[in-house]
Amino acid sequence: MKRKAILLHPKDNVATALVDLKKGEKVHVALGDVSVEVELLEDIEFGHKFALCDIKKGDEVLKYGLPICKALQDVRKGEWVHVHNCRSERFGFQREKYGLKA
């Protein structure tokens, strides 16, 4: 069976699509002792991320076991995680946190 998505670190709260995925599809990812099944709430394109659990506004999004961005709004399990609902350091979340100007 071909994998549809990949979990890169056991602490991650997102997985990455290895193929185009459709809304309503159930996707399973596993790594070590971590195993998660998600029903997608949106179409997810190849290479894009989706939430493995509910992520609250302001929480860090973890990929590779490290924070890659912060949620701008609540993100539900199975939703697409991208620039419309999160902000990466590239777009200044650390500068905002510490009150620095770009």
Domains of the chain are 5-98 (2.30.130.110)
pLDDT value at position 84? 85
pLDDT value at position 18? 98
pLDDT value at position 98? 53
26 residue type, one letter = K
Q: pLDDT tens track of the chain, all 102 residues?
A: 689 999 999 999 999 999 999 999 999 999 999 999 999 999 999 999 999 999 999 999 999 999 998 999 999 999 999 988 898 766 555 555 555 554
To 10 degrees, the CA torsion angle through 55, 60, 61, 63? -140
